[in-house]
């Protein structure tokens, strides 16, 4: 008996449907109440689907309030400022601490806040203990929301930055429990030294939770900070 083969046309349609479903989950278009995925747990993210779990927070303020909880993050919701001409924010929070480190952040989208928490809890703090024998007590950043276009890349100069919707954060450094400051501008080039290796390790670790993770190797505009965002594109450089 000859095996029946799926006609090529139906196979292509099936692939397109699967791709559409995957894109819907990736973009957070499937409401959590209809999703078969377990809700994100900041203490135990699921490696294969964590990106989709984070994406579910994009439009769901109720889920956001259930997920963004101490001790992993201290955050409170802020009123929406619906985007106009590409600038504004929705379902965003104000942060006072993340991963038990001080981190005053005025505006950050819920999904970016979740990614920041996961990064601090599961990457930064363990790596700080491994390299320095102590934890990070505060996180320094260079801003989140800014109504502007992408800078540093002429190909994208007419496109709004993820900062324009509070969906990005620029990290500049870390302060350890003993008061020592580890900064991207001063220590990134110290390859082979604990400070430089720590920065490279935490930058790589951010790629598990943020879709875009750019550092000093990317271009001159990022010589003194890491840019992390939860936009459409995916790159780790």
Tell me the sheet residues that pair with 105.
95
Q: Which two tokens stand for residue 189?
A: 């080039």
Structure confidence at residue 158 (pLDDT): 77
In a domain, 7, yes or no: no
In a domain, 164, yes or no: yes
In a domain, 187, yes or no: yes
Q: Distances from the Cα of 198 to the Cαs of 9, 41, 96, 184, in angstroms?
A: 51, 26, 24, 10
Number of domains in the chain: 1
Per-residue confidence band for 134, with pLDDT thresholds at 50, 70 and 90 = very high
Q: Distances from the Cα of 38 to the Cαs of 48, 49, 56, 207, in angstroms?
A: 12, 10, 10, 21
In a domain, 132, yes or no: yes
CA distance 113 to 178: 26
The answer on pLDDT for 21 being more than 80 is no
In a domain, 19, yes or no: no
Q: What is the pLDDT of residues 186-237, one digit of tens each?
A: 999 999 999 999 999 999 999 999 999 999 999 999 999 999 999 988 899 9
Q: What is the pLDDT of residues 36-54, one digit of tens each?
A: 788 899 999 998 899 999 9
Residue-number span of the structural domain to which 122 is assigned: 34-81+88-236
- Find the length of the chain: 237
Q: Which two tokens stand for residue 56?
A: 């579910």
Contact 213, 143 (CB under 8 A): no
CA distance 122 to 227: 19
In a domain, 11, yes or no: no
CA distance 221 to 152: 5
| Contacts of 192 by beta carbon, 8 Å cutoff, 6+ apart | none
In a domain, 18, yes or no: no
Q: What is the DSSP letter of 142?
A: S
SS3 for 46? coil
SS3 for 83? strand
In a domain, 137, yes or no: yes
Structure confidence at residue 170 (pLDDT): 98
């Amino acid at each position: 008996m000859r095996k029946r083969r799926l006609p090529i046309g139906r196979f292509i349609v099936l692939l397109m449907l699967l791709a559409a479903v995957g894109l819907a989950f990736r973009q957070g278009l499937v409401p959590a109440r209809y999703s078969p995925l377990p809700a994100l747990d900041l203490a135990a993210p699921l490696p294969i689907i964590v990106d989709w779990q984070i994406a579910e927070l994009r439009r769901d303020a109720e889920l956001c309030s259930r997920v963004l909880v101490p001790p992993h993050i201290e955050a409170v919701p802020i009123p929406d400022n619906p985007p106009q001409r590409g600038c504004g924010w929705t379902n965003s929070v104000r942060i006072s601490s993340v991963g038990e480190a001080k981190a005053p952040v005025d505006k950050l989208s819920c999904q970016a806040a979740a990614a920041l928490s996961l990064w601090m809890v599961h990457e930064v703090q363990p790596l700080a203990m491994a390299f320095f024998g102590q934890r990070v007590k505060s996180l320094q950043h260079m801003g989140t929301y800014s109504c502007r276009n992408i800078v540093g890349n002429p190909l994208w100069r007419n496109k709004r930055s993820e900062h324009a919707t509070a969906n990005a954060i620029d990290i500049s450094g870390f302060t350890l429990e003993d008061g020592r400051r580890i900064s991207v501008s001063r220590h990134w080039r110290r390859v082979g030294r604990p400070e430089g290796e720590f920065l490279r390790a935490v930058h790589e670790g951010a790629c598990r939770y943020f879709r875009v993770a750019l550092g000093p190797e990317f271009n001159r505009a990022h010589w003194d900070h890491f840019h992390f965002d939860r936009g459409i594109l995916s790159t780790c450089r």
